[in-house]
Amino acid sequence: MELKLENITKFYGKQCALDNFNGVFTEGIYGLLGPNGAGKTTLINIIIGVLEASKGAILLDGSDVKKMGTKYLDKVGYLPQEPTFYKNFRVDEFLKYMCAIKGIPSKHVDSRIEEVLELVNLTDSYKKKVGALSGGMRQRLGIGQAILNRPDILILDEPTAGLDPGERIRFRNIISKLSKDRIVLLATHIVSDVEYIAKEVLILKKGKLVKKGTTKELERTVEGKIWNVTVSETDVEKYMHKYLIANIKRLEDKLQLRIVSESRPDGIAEAVAPSLEDVFLSIMEQ
């Protein structure tokens, strides 16, 4: 299976929200990484058919998705950035409602819901009211409704926003499990959401795709440019004015600065292995 985006462009009046985006996706997880306003949600809304591109085409296995119509949409599952749930519904009632909306035959509804609840680890909560669920459980329910129709393409927009670290890890594990036989597009501004699970990361900035590759490939672009410097608190301001600081860590009475710099900041700087966050920060600060 191949989803191909060719020169996808979107204008709102004279403002270009997305500028000639190109990408080819096959089975696996892809991270669409960028700050708010980078064009991630615009791109997603074009892929799912909510928005029409000003220019460009989307092809699924060589067929234009516009001509495929509902045959294409039947292959797509979607979790929006801020999903809306009916809080008075029980979990199983909400999923039955979504089955009806998605046109799933009634004879398959119970087995499909049972399958989905197990996948997202909500089997023991199926009688709970949606309004009583934690934020993480609601996000898992959101994934559940998105995969009820067994989509070939699963699209998730900022799925871990507001989740605690434990729920974020649980969420990533679920996504990894779901990616075996489908294309998963995960849009986020949180580097750790995609750093370890995405087979390719695409970084967007101001509507443009500025860099893409595996985590290792992207990290190599800043190899030899990441440094640790341990300084006193009184020297921190001096370094912050002069260099791009990726992180600050306290070490007893000193502070360790993680610096992105083409050259060694000073004689005491130690070269360290880069991370995807270093790549992301260096691109955003350019």
- The one-letter code for the residue type at 46 is I
CB < 8 Å & 24+ apart, contacts of 234-242: 239/265
Instruction: Note whether 134 and 187 are same-domain residues.
Output: yes
pLDDT at 268: 81
pLDDT at 153: 95
pLDDT at 273: 93
β-pairing verdict for 254-260 and 15-25:
unpaired
Instruction: Note whether 31 and 55 are same-domain residues.
Output: yes
Give the mean pLDDT of the chain.
91
Cβ-based burial of 84 (10 A; exposed 0-12, middle 13-18, buried ≥19): exposed
pTM of the model: 0.89
Instruction: Note whether 187 and 276 are same-domain residues.
Output: no
Q: What is the mean pLDDT of residues 98-104?
A: 91
Residue 12 pLDDT class (50, 70, 90 cuts): very high
Task: Report angle CA 133, 74, 29 to the nearest 5 degrees.
Answer: 65
Residue 239: which H helix or E strand, with range?
A: helix 236-242
Q: What is the mean pLDDT of residues 229-256?
A: 88
What are the pLDDT digits (tens) for 151-205? 999 999 988 877 778 878 888 888 888 888 899 999 999 898 898 899 999 999 9
Instruction: Note whether 206 and 233 are same-domain residues.
Output: no
More confident residue, 250 or 170: 250
DSSP 8-state symbol, 234: G
Strand arrangement, sheet containing 208-213: 76-79, 153-157, 183-188, 28-33, 200-205, 208-213
Instruction: Note whether 171 and 242 are same-domain residues.
Output: no
- The one-letter code for the residue type at 232 is S
pLDDT at 179: 85
Look at the chain and count its residues.
Answer: 286
User: What CATH number is attached to the domain comprising 79?
Assistant: 3.40.50.300
Instruction: Note whether 244 and 183 are same-domain residues.
Output: no
Helix (H, G, I), strand (E, B) or coil at 68: helix
Q: What is the mean pLDDT of residues 75-94?
A: 88
- Which domain range does residue 271 map to? 221-284
Question: Above 80 in pLDDT, residue 238?
Answer: yes
Residue 31 tokens read as 């991270």
Report how many domains make up the chain.
2
What are the pLDDT digits (tens) for 111-128? 999 999 988 889 989 899
| Alpha carbons 162 and 189: distance in angstroms, whole number | 12
pLDDT at 83: 78
How many percent of the chain have pLDDT more than 90? 58
Question: Above 80 in pLDDT, residue 286?
Answer: no
pLDDT at 120: 86
Instruction: Note whether 122 and 9 are same-domain residues.
Output: yes
Tokens 């993680």 correspond to: 258
Which of the listed residues 219, 241, 275 is the one where a domain comes to its end? 219
CB 211 within 8 A of CB 203: yes
What are phi and psi for residue 150, nearest 5 degrees? 50, 60
